[in-house]
Amino acid sequence: MKRYHIVYQGLVQGVGFRFQLLHIARELGLTGWVRNAGANVEAEVQGEKVDEFLKKTLQKRGFAEIYDYAYKEISCIQDEKNFTVRY
C-alpha cells in the first residue's frame, strides 16, 4: 500500500475537479482527501491503486485542464476509512 501527496496546477478551480477526484478514488477503493489550495488542488490518496488514480486524474475530464502536477510518496495513515472533500 502507498500514499501520495499530489498538487495539481491549472484550470482546476470551479470546474468540479475535486468531485471528479472523489469519484475516481471511491471507484478504485482508495482513501484520503482532496481540497482547494490557493489556485491549485491538493490531494492525499492511499491504497493499492494510487498509481492508477494518478494516471486517471491526469486525463482530460470536463472543463478541468491540468498544466502541471507534482507528487511524492508519504507515510500511510493507519485505519483511514474513506476519501473525502475537505473545505
Answer yes or no: 40 catalytic. Answer: no
Residue of 18, 26, 40, 82 marked catalytic: 18
Question: Quick count: other Cβ atoms within 10 Å of Cβ 63?
Answer: 11
Cell of 64: 478541468
Residue of 3, 35, 36, 61 marked catalytic: 36
Answer yes or no: 18 catalytic. Answer: yes
Residue 23 and residue 5: Cα distance in Å, rounded? 18
Residue 31 and residue 39: Cα distance in Å, rounded? 24
Residue 72 and residue 10: Cα distance in Å, rounded? 19
By annotation, the residues acting in catalysis are 18, 36
